[in-house]
Amino acid sequence: MPRIKVLVADDHALLREGIKAILSLHDDVEVVGEASDGMDAIQKTLKLKPDIVLMDIAMPGLGGLEATVEIKKTAPNVKILVLSQYDDREYVSRLIKAGVSGYILKHAVGTDLLSSIRAVARGEFYLYSAIASSVIGDYLSKGTNPIEEDPYERLTDREKQVLKLIAEGHSHKEIANILDISVKTVIAHYSNFQEKLDIRTRAGLIKFAFQRGIVK
């Protein structure tokens, strides 16, 4: 039986090493590579073709949510399993909409991590028990997908990427370099999402980003 190929994407080298050590104890899982940020995760996914990307969310530069959206476009068969320290319901819901196959908290180690990887590899959806009930309850109580009413969802994928980087304090030139686009295009996206969100100041955008869990 072929082994489950996993790419570990996290900006903390020590955590990546710990995950590799845990998974190396099991013959049915193979860590084929590591990534330290979202852009690196996208590039390594295309190069290494893993079955699963174990994706951290709060990474510098291009974050896990933005990387997930891009990976699902360019490599739709690759499954994304989020490994995060955050259990915010709204954030989890946004990631589910982005197409992740599972969500597990970082303090879940050993058996829980392995179980989630195996479940996702089988085509199942895995939601860690500590957050499953609250997320499901939120969906049921509202009767619809709660993130559909979020003005953030009116933004395009690229606008979301630029918003995160703006909120992290990057200049237009730095964002252009990170996303490999022109400064003029960055400014255009900036103006577009200011209009869509009806937020005219950088301070207001940063506040919005923190409130929505776009940056932590």
- Per domain, the residue ranges of the chain are 4-142, 150-211
Residues 6 or more apart whose CB falls under 8 angstroms from that of 126 comprise 81, 101, 102, 103, 104, 115, 116, 119, 120
Q: What is the pLDDT of residue 215?
A: 78
- In angstroms, the CA 18 to CA 7 distance is 14
Integer angstrom CA distances of residue 136 from 116, 148, 162: 18, 16, 30
Please give the CATH topology (third level) of the domain spanning 4-142.
Rossmann fold (3.40.50)
Residue 57 backbone dihedrals phi, psi, to 5 degrees: -100, -50
Q: Is the alpha carbon torsion for 111, 114, 83, 40 positive or negative?
A: positive
SS3 assignment for 19-32: HHHHHCCCCCEEEE
Q: What is the pLDDT of residue 146?
A: 47
- In angstroms, the CA 81 to CA 68 distance is 10
**52 in Cβ contact with 25 (< 8 Å):** no
**Would you write out the chain's pLDDT as a tens digit for each of its 216 residues?**
689 999 999 999 999 999 999 999 999 999 999 999 999 999 999 999 999 999 998 888 888 888 999 999 999 999 999 988 877 676 787 788 888 999 988 877 667 899 999 999 999 999 877 666 556 555 545 555 544 566 887 888 889 889 989 988 899 999 999 888 999 999 999 999 999 998 988 889 988 888 877 776
CATH for 150-211 (3.50.50.60, 1.10.10.10, 1.10.260.40, 3.40.190.10)? 1.10.10.10
Closest CA to 33 of 18, 15, 14, 20: 20
Residues 6 or more apart whose CB falls under 8 angstroms from that of 85 comprise 58, 105, 106, 107
Regarding beta strands 126-127 and 79-84, do their DSSP bridges make them parallel or antiparallel, or are they unpaired? unpaired
* Residue 208 one-letter amino acid: F
Integer angstrom CA distances of residue 78 from 44, 65, 123, 190: 12, 15, 11, 30
User: pLDDT digits over 75-132, tens only?
Assistant: 999 999 998 887 767 678 778 888 899 998 887 766 789 999 999 999 999 987 766 6
Q: What is the pLDDT of residue 186?
A: 93
- DSSP 8-state assignment for residue 88: -
- In angstroms, the CA 3 to CA 14 distance is 24
